[in-house]
Amino acid sequence: MGDFRRLFVLSAVGLMVCGSMSACYMGPDPVQYGALAVVDGKATAVIALCGRSSSDLDVYRDDNDPADHDFAYWAVSIVVSVPAQDVDVELLGAARPGWQITSRADTGSPSVTGLRRVVLTSFKPGHHYTLDASKGGPEGTSAPTVSFTTDDLARIGDGQVLAPVDYKKSKVVSRESFVNDACAKKGPGA
């Protein structure tokens, strides 16, 4: 009986050790709270606040060009005075009340990574851009981002946004459905 018990305990311990070493995060994915819209002819992020009063937003050039040593980005932290369902943020716009532009250009030589941060000031044809207003999740998980080019801006009509479907594609949906879906998910960090 002792040998059987010892075998059972060793097997159980072995399973727990192997299980903990191979475990991965199985919780809900983080939620992308940002989508791309065009408001009054300007590229605009729609951020689903979902009753919160603050959010962060980044947009950056994402050409995946190894010869380009500039990381061109624009970042802002938004705080609204009253919790809201959603808010519009004019991309690359000047600071407004409740906005803190957090993008900064590096002065001097590139960082250890070989990249030099520069502030993104315009969207130009022929480049790819990424918009992100998600909060990172546990275990380094991240939400799908909104990838776009200047050609995508023409596809977005009034009351519509370009929102991520998954990690590889985005599609044009109604603003209302994007906000409702994002708020219904409320992932980690929400």
32-56 tens-digit pLDDT: 899 999 999 999 999 999 999 999 9
pLDDT reported for residue 130: 96
Structural domain contains residue 171: yes
- The helix or strand, by DSSP H or E, that contains position 55, with its residue range, turns out to be strand 54-61
Number of domains in the chain: 1
75, two tokens? 């970042």
d(CA 51, CA 190): 10
β-partners of residue 37 are 44
Q: Please state whether beta strands 70-79 and 116-119 pair in parallel, antiparallel, or not at all (unpaired).
A: parallel
Q: Are 101 and 59 in contact (CB under 8 A)?
A: no
Structural domain contains residue 20: no
pLDDT reported for residue 64: 84
Structural domain contains residue 5: no
Structural domain contains residue 19: no
Give the angle subtended at the CA of 98 by the CAs of 138 and 105, to the nearest 5°. Answer: 70
Structural domain contains residue 89: yes
The domain containing residue 83 runs over which residues?
Answer: 29-185
Structural domain contains residue 8: no
Q: In Å, what is the CA distance from 65 to each residue of 22, 27, 83, 139?
A: 34, 34, 40, 28
d(CA 170, CA 161): 10
The whole-angstrom distance between residue 26's C-alpha and the CA centroid of its chain comes to 20
Structural domain contains residue 4: no
Q: What global pTM score does this model have?
A: 0.80
Q: What is the pLDDT along the chain (190 residues), one digit of tens a residue?
A: 555 455 444 454 444 544 444 455 555 667 889 999 999 999 999 999 999 999 999 999 999 888 888 899 999 999 999 999 999 999 998 889 999 999 988 777 666 777 889 999 999 999 999 999 987 777 777 888 999 999 999 999 999 999 998 888 999 999 999 999 999 986 544 4
Structural domain contains residue 24: no
CA R_g for the chain: 21
